[in-house]
Amino acid sequence: MLRAAAAASGFLPARLAAETAPTVRVVAAGAEVRSPLLRALGVPRGGGIGSPVPGRRPCFVSDSESSGSAGDSDSDASSAAGDESEGNKSSSGIVPSIVRPEDCHTVIALPLAQQPLFPGFYMPISVKDPKLLQALVESLKRSFPYAGAFLVKNDEDTDSNNVTCSDSKKNIHDLKGKELLKRLHNVGTLAKITSIQGDQVLLLGHCRLRITEMVDEDPLTVKVDHLKHMGDFNYPRLADFGAAISVANKLLCQEVLEELDVSKRLMLALELVKRELEITKLQQSIAKAIEEKITGDQRRYLLNEQLKAIKKELGLETDDKTALSEKFRKRIEPRKEKCPSHVLQVIEEELTKLQLLEASSSEFSVTSNYLDWLTVLPWGDYSDENFDVHHAQCILDEDHYGLADVKERILEFIAVGKLRGSSQGKIICLSGPPGVGKTSIGRSIARALNRKFYRFSVGGLSDIAEIKGHRRTYVGAMPGKMVQCLKSVVTANPLVLIDEIDKLGRGYSGDPASALLELLDPEQNATFLDHYLDVSIDLSKVLFVCTANVIEMIPGPLLDRMEIISIAGYITDEKMHIARDYLEKNTREACGIMPEQAEVTDSALLALIENYCREAGVRNLQKQIEKIYRKIALQLVRQGVSNEPSREITLFEASEQPASVDIATEVENRSPRDALAEDVSVHITPTDFSCEKINIVSLTTKSGVNQNENLKGTSKETSADKKSTSTNMSGKIETNEGTEKLTEARVVKAVEKIVVDTSNLDDFVGKAVFQPERIYDQTPVGVVMGLAWNAMGGSTLYIETAKVEDSEGKGALVVTGQLGDVMKESAQIAHTVCTSIFREKEPNMPFFFAKSKLHLHVPAGATPKDGPSAGCTMVTSMLSLAMGKMVKKDLAMTGEVTLTGRILPIGGVKEKTIAARRSGIKTIIFPSANRRDFDELAPNVKEGLEVHFVDKYSEIYDLAFPSDSETRSS
């Protein structure tokens, strides 16, 4: 396109311009030089056409001048030939051969693959066909430098608006004769061959042609008609110029070439030029934006570099690397004596490495981040511990009610630390149901020991890198949790609470439980190695406290390194104290409710505990209390009560004379807004006063003197006589020039106190969730109460046995109640034990179990149940049915039974004891092996209970069933 524009403007390079000059070839006399094209044109041997006339450079030649132009060119050739003949008169065989463009009616057809050639424009093409190229060379030699340039059609798509690039450019050279003719557009351009260099041919368009018929097939030679059109010189050439310089698809340009009407051709060319203009504007805007951005960035960078250089020369600032190095050295300098030598060596090596790296390199950022972590850790910095057991006792009692055994164990731990001088060496694990305060106990221990507290949960943790850190080679690498902990607490001996350790996950990246072994083992954590830091860290001074709900879920190697402190839960009395002294008070303050506005009675709290919150912890109890106070807050707001804090009201006085503001507390039979409108002499927004009682706390003037220190609001019962005095003495406010601030006091509207008790508890928390666990005052025949443990604490359950039918042959036992495999086995064992015991106790009915089909059921069938501790309860239930005797009133039991009648120990003694107290049980039977567990319980848990410890079932039989004399007396 640039070459065409340059040619049109007359600025074609000198070499190409020289090549366009008319050329005269000389040949020897009598030689046969006629080509097939010359034979078709009828040019005689050695003959010429025209006479020599002065010539000129052909460029933008109009149709009216085309013949003259050709004549000029031919004249140049003739003149040159004449001059040469005059210079060498002995060469009588030199004959000029000249052809004019308008006389060219038979031409060689040149296929154009990309764009059509327009008259007056240059176009270089590549001719791959050797025979065609040789014909063009011969034509140029014979002074017939003309050919027809025709655009190749598209086989796939002839639509000018959707032209594909898959033209037959690669196959067009293989086509000959009629096949090639079919692929060419009929309208083309007569082109003058200005030069041939290798296979590159430079063409100059003269005028439009139309193919009429084929003359020769190889090379394709066609007869053409010259297409003339009317119009001024400028307009048709302008249209051709616009189409030639565009980069539109070739079919659109071909339409311009084929159009002979000047006005239509100009419209087509205008569309192409507009398209080019829009593309050029877009390219310019993009280029400008890019240039501005690059220029702005370069300018900013240059100015920053100059600023840095200036500051460096003045000593005001150093470069980035020096500043970073100085920052890291200042960090480590105060702890240099306490820092281990191997860590100091690594820091010095990394600082030296930092100075050798380029600030723009990725290794520089990795090294600087590594040094940042190394220098920020508290190497050798320890907080002073407090081993005062009396101080610790006060803190534990302040934060927690009950849990006497847990507090005692913690105080023992602190006492040992006082004697040793340090509290490390033991890993405490607090186990118990949710909501019993395990995490808060860990926080209280940290406060008692004056240690920093840090908590992180490992529940569901599956990536070992969370504990051991990532390798520094990874993108976004970070140290593990312990390194992050030390950076956060800024001390090397914090208390770290590892929460939910029984819920560790395991993923493809490793086993976190194995990573915790090095962290929690007192023999290994003195040289704990984090993958990111790659230097050993001393964690032996860190006190680790873990929490878990079920210790059976903790991996064995981890559990072996811990000291278990069990937190079973709270009994009803403890929950009452916690609810009254902690939960209810804190919740009321959090909701912004005054004690005189609402009250929750003890009976309501007791009902809430027993019917809604039977779990071992108090988290759900706190939620229910919050629910109650939220509904109380809603009722108070609906009644118009607002307990918002005081606000400041600014009064503006326009006049110079002091104005008085009289505020009356209440006017009978008038609204407060009307009364204030009469008594306030300055403008106050009415919405600022919408209550029945207003207290003015302070009024400060410009001089800063408090003019209302002794003002007190009047009560609702103030009489009309006292009202005027109150208005003049305590309500009148003298204002000064300018602005004064009036603090609006808390506004309290007199409302009836809201009381929550058992009668309206359902309105606040809904219907009761739990029904009384004890459904029998006296259990019937075949029914016995057992004690069970679950993750939420302890509970009671009934074992029921009924006789279905007498069966011939062997007796049968059916069990229901969604029992697990262990509990089903316990039922079969109990059935066998009952058979032997019944034969001994009732010799008159030795075959009851052998001939009876029994059905044993454990109520609450929707709840899964499993465990061996119900064995003795099942035996007692079957014997009660067989003998027709009821067990003693208020009796519950638990224990695993063997086939020989031995009673094995069970777990969850405290939870089961609490469940028995909650159900009103007075007598409990435990295995003898659990006597120590029961003795360790707090006195308030054991109070009022009769507990029997047994080794074999025969002892349970005597305790469970009353004697005949007792039965008759009852």
Query: What residues are designated binding site for ATP?
Result: 432-439
- Alpha-carbon span 460 to 472, nearest angstrom: 25
**Exposed/middle/buried for residue 460 (C-beta within 10 Å: 0-12, 13-18, 19+):** exposed
Q: What is the largest CA-CA distance in the chain?
A: 170
User: C-alpha angle with apex 916: 914 to 917, nearest 5 degrees?
Assistant: 65
Compute CA distances 751 → 34, 257, 688, 745, 748, whole Å: 127, 97, 21, 18, 9
DSSP tag of 165:
S
**CA nearest to 251, candidates 114, 64, 368, 348:** 114
Is the Cα dihedral 200, 205, 210, 215 positive or negative?
negative
- Alpha-carbon span 110 to 129, nearest angstrom: 10
- Alpha-carbon span 131 to 682, nearest angstrom: 111
- Alpha-carbon span 493 to 480, nearest angstrom: 17
- Alpha-carbon span 120 to 888, nearest angstrom: 125
**CA nearest to 69, candidates 210, 151, 192, 163:** 192
**Exposed/middle/buried for residue 69 (C-beta within 10 Å: 0-12, 13-18, 19+):** buried
Annotated binding site: 432-439
Spatial neighbors of 452 by CB under 8 A, at least 6 apart, are 383, 446, 489, 490, 491, 494, 495
Query: DSSP labels for 242-303?
Result: HHHT----HHHHHHHHH---HHHHHHHHHHHHHHHHHHHHHHHHHHHHHHHHHHHHHHHHHH
Compute CA distances 621 → 513, 624, 790, whole Å: 34, 5, 18
Annotated active-site residue 912? The verdict is yes
Give the side-chain half-sphere CA count within 13 A for 636: 25
Tokens read off for 412: 């023992």
Contact assessment for residue 916 and residue 788, using Cβ atoms and an 8 Å cutoff: no
C-beta atoms surrounding 109 within 10 Å: 23
Helix (H) or strand (E) holding 193: strand 187-197
Q: What share of the chain is helix, strand, coil (3-state, %, to 5)?
A: 40, 20, 40
Residue 513, SS3 per DSSP? helix
3-state secondary structure string across 209-224: EEEEEEEECCCCEEEE
Helix (H) or strand (E) holding 917: helix 909-918
Annotated active-site residue 869? The verdict is yes
Catalytic residue among 75, 78, 444, 869: 869
C-beta atoms surrounding 330 within 10 Å: 10
- Match 């001939």 to its residue by tokens: 851
**CA nearest to 540, candidates 579, 476, 589, 496:** 496
Residue 806, SS3 per DSSP? strand
User: C-alpha angle with apex 814: 811 to 815, nearest 5 degrees?
Assistant: 140
C-beta atoms surrounding 155 within 10 Å: 13
By annotation, the residues acting in catalysis are 869, 912
